[in-house]
């Protein structure tokens, strides 16, 4: 529902400049210190199956998003990620 979607959005971050070789496990590990993660998703092209270079991380609590924002411009898998 729309209410569920907006609730999820308050507890999620968009992560850009994700290396094509990075795994979901590495992404989760990078943000683990921010709080409990519900899921991390690296988006892939539906035709080629290759990663698009960005991801989403959903946390249990909205407060974790503020902590995650402090990790903007940090290095993940050799690249400076953007939130």
**DSSP track, the chain:** -HHHHHHHHHTEEEEES--TT--HHHHHHHHGGGS-EEEEEEEE-TTT--EEEEEEEEESSTHHHHHHHTTTT-EETTEE-B-
**Mean pLDDT for all residues in the chain:** 94
Size of the chain, expressed as the number of residues it contains: 83
Domain limits at 71? 2-80
CATH number at residue 76: 3.30.70.330
Average the pLDDT over 25-37 and give the result. Answer: 97
Look at residue 12 in the predicted model and tell me its pLDDT. 97
| Confidence (pTM) | 0.90
How many structural domains does the chain have? 1
pLDDT in tens, 66-81: 999 999 999 999 999 9
């Amino acid at each position: 529902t729309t209410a569920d979607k907006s609730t999820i959005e308050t507890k999620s971050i968009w992560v850009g400049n994700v290396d094509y070789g990075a795994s979901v496990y590495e992404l989760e590990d990078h943000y683990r210190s921010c709080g409990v993660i519900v899921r991390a998703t690296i988006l892939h092209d539906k035709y080629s199956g290759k990663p698009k270079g960005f991801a989403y991380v959903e946390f249990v609590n909205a407060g974790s998003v503020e902590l995650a924002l402090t990790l903007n411009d940090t290095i993940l898998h050799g690249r400076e990620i953007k939130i």
